[in-house]
Amino acid sequence: MTVTTHPTLIVALDVDDFAGAESLVERLAPLDVWFKVGYEPLYGYGDAIRAKLEALGANVFLDAKLHDIPRTVEAGVRALVRRGTRLISVHALGGNEMLQAAVAGARERADELGIEAPGIFAITLLTSIAPEDLGELGLAGGPGENVMRLAALARDARCAGVVCSPHEARDLKAYFGSDFSVLCPGIRPAGVSPGDQKRVATPQSAIAAGADYLVVGRPIVKAADPVAAARAILAEMDAAVLAR
């Protein structure tokens, strides 16, 4: 997997129909953003949107959130690898053996296809989970402590990076270094409602913390002018890179 030198904006295609997603992709692809294909498009119209993205030469974060026994996850990853798919997510809580199986499956299938292997990114804690929610999940300590522990597990399994809130990005980058990538959902421009996200940050603060990939959905997808909204976020990202 190629490591990015400039933070990348990933637009979440959280749209309930293919026509709407196709329109967004066609309008936003010239901005050189990446696209996240999560549950809604993957299960609703996965073949169609992936074919469209591949035809456009777009880069894709396949947010599959795989979490199962190692053999099943390896098989799932193999089935998902295709040209243009740059990142695939799995849950760190699946454990070391499962994470290793995901990495192996991605590399082996990519070799068979003659393409670059997608990076496997391990989801640590969802950004919808607040500190007070950890106890009911049986997790001791705060979000930062749990994220670091799960990130270490992912790094040992040779994952390319982790998914975490921007609040943990700085500590992760300081401890694991620049080669271990951090992907942050929960990105909201200043003044925009966090919705169901609880640990959020602006694009500027996420980049200052060291995030490599910023995932933005509703502030772009639901905007009256998605292209203008994406351009504004890209401009904020560029300014943040110059300032750090």
Could you list the active site residues? 65
How crowded is the C-beta side of 8, counted as CA atoms within 13 Å?
23
CA dihedral 89, 76, 152, 1 (to 10 degrees): -70
> Which are the contacts of 37, defined by CB distance < 8 A and separation ≥ 6?
13, 46, 49, 50, 53, 60, 61, 62, 63
Number of continuous H segments (helices) and E segments (strands) in the chain? 9, 8
Chain centroid to CA 100: 19
Structure-block tokens of residue 70: 């190692």
Structure-block tokens of residue 181: 């990538």
Q: Which of these, 85, 89, 90, 92, lies nearest to 117 by C-alpha position?
A: 85
Q: In what helix (H) or strand (E) does residue 213 lie, and over which residues does it extend? A: strand 213-216
**In Å, what is the CA distance from 24 to each residue of 33, 54, 151, 192, 194?**
12, 15, 33, 20, 22
